[in-house]
Amino acid sequence: MNEQALWERAVAFHGHVCGGLTIGFKAALYAIELLGLTFSDDEDVVCIAENDACGVDAIQVILGCSIGKGNLLFHMRGKQAFSFYERKTGKSVRLVLKPRPEGMTREESLSYFQGRRPCELFEVKETAISLPEPARLFISYACENCGEVTGENWIRLAGGKKLCLDCYRQYNRFRV
């Protein structure tokens, strides 16, 4: 699929054109170029986004990374930074958005991002986070307080009962 068709799919998914979507779009294109990625039908391609902004939508559309498949993860740092991994080759890259010129309007920013090649927009770094393990399936239990079913990884024991995180009261004598 050509770049224009990918852009149109990203815009249709996201709902509008904006600078943030363009950032994610360019990051996905650069990851494809650097790592030889293709659309991930399963968990072959993994993205760890350091923000939950508009650009993540473009990454979902172009690379097939999604929360439901377990290959789109968030490591919230408030940065326009994305780590991409290819499970089959073990290759990875972290792309960090370079600062743009100050004082731009929203329209000027959009034009700036759209008019640059990915290599002009991002600093290429080594990934700082190891490749996450593939998504796991967990046994589910009914919370013995509210009755809602919860994966075993999120169950806590209290007073001999299995409780979901909403019903569990953490014991902490120190307020941090």
pLDDT for 144-166, tens place per residue? 999 999 999 999 999 999 999 99
Q: Domain end: 125, 146, 164, which one?
A: 125
Q: Where residue 63 sits, what CATH number does that domain have?
A: 3.30.1330.130
What is the tally of helices (H) and strands (E) in the chain?
A: 5, 9
What are the φ and ψ backbone dihedral angles of 137, each rounded to 5 degrees? Answer: -100, 135
Question: What amino acid occupies position 110?
Answer: L
Do 168 and 112 sit in the same domain of this protein?
A: no
pTM equals 0.86
Domain of residue 164 covers 136-176
Q: Residue 151: which residues within 8 A CB-CB, separation 6 or more?
A: 138, 139, 140
- Report residue 135's pLDDT band, with 50, 70 and 90 as the boundaries: confident
Question: Domain count of the chain?
Answer: 2
Q: One-letter amino acid identity for 105?
A: T
- 53-99 per-position pLDDT tens digit: 999 999 999 999 999 999 999 999 999 999 999 999 999 999 999 99
The angle formed by the CA atoms of residues 26, 93 and 6, to the nearest 5 degrees, is 25
The answer to whether position 131 is within a domain reads: no
Both 95 and 147 in a single domain?
Answer: no
User: If you average pLDDT over residues 12-29, what whole number do you get?
Assistant: 98
Same domain assignment for residues 99 and 165: no
